[in-house]
A and B are shown apart, each in its own frame.
Chain A
Amino acid sequence: DAGVIQSPRHEVTEMGQEVTLRCKPISGHNSLFWYRQTMMRGLELLIYFNNNVPIDDSGMPEDRFSAKMPNASFSTLKIQPSEPRDSAVYFCASSFGQGFSYEQYFGPGTRLTVT
């Protein structure tokens, strides 16, 4: 079975450009999470969806970040406009169950570099 799929795997863009990261969760999972990982701040939860509905977006840094989940098999994380401090690895994860007490399956991540 395919795991969590993310695209692109690497993205290099210039400051001010729009960036869209994509995620396909594991089929049958009803929770989806977007994380950001940096050396300074570690692994941070950005947003959590359950049954396609955003439940907790308190980790979204600012209005430049937005996330959508139009259906159970697809989610996007958009940064507009991007800034150099957004450079990080962005992970998407999914789980079967509501909340944070279930095993999370992480995708391979998107390494974003903003110059």
Chain B
Amino acid sequence: GQQVMQIPQYQHVQEGEDFTTYCNSSTTLSNIQWYKQRPGGHPVFLIQLVKSGEVKKQKRLTFQFGEAKKNSSLHITATQTTDVGTYFCAGPAGKLIFGQGTELSVKP
């Protein structure tokens, strides 16, 4: 069945370092969504990418959708302690399939 894989599963960084999580789908996606879940919290929508090769920025966060619309990435520049949480990608394939998430911890 449809799968959405995310790597890495965990990432520990020093505050100020950059962070990247990668998302790969087994099939072409019409769009991809990114969510953030703080520890003990609920997923919160960050952004949706629709176009092939699309790049969107939100302050220190850069989101990219691959040319083949089968992969995506989220890059955070100069991480802060407020970036701590799990980042999920999700793609619609009959239903919304979530990746396993990348848990980011930031050491001050």
Listed in ascending order, the chain A residues whose CB lies under 8 Å from chain B are 33, 42-45, 48, 56, 58-59, 91, 93, 99-101, 103-109
Contact A43 B98 (CB under 8 A): yes
Query: B68 at interface (Cβ–Cβ under 8 A)?
Result: no
Give Cα A56 to B31, complex, Å: 20
Known: A106-B44, A108-B42. A45 touches B96 (CB 8 A): yes
A44 CA to B94 CA in the complex, in Å? Answer: 13
A59:B98 contact, CB within 8 angstroms: no
CA–CA, A32 to B91, complex, Å?
17
27 A-B residue pairs with CB within 8 Å: A33-B96, A42-B98, A42-B99, A42-B100, A42-B101, A43-B43, A43-B88, A43-B98, A43-B101, A45-B95, A48-B95, A56-B94, A56-B95, A58-B95, A93-B43, A99-B92, A101-B31, A101-B92, A103-B33, A103-B48, A104-B33, A104-B43, A104-B45, A104-B96, A105-B45, A106-B43, A109-B42
Complexed CA–CA distance, A109 and B41 (Å): 8
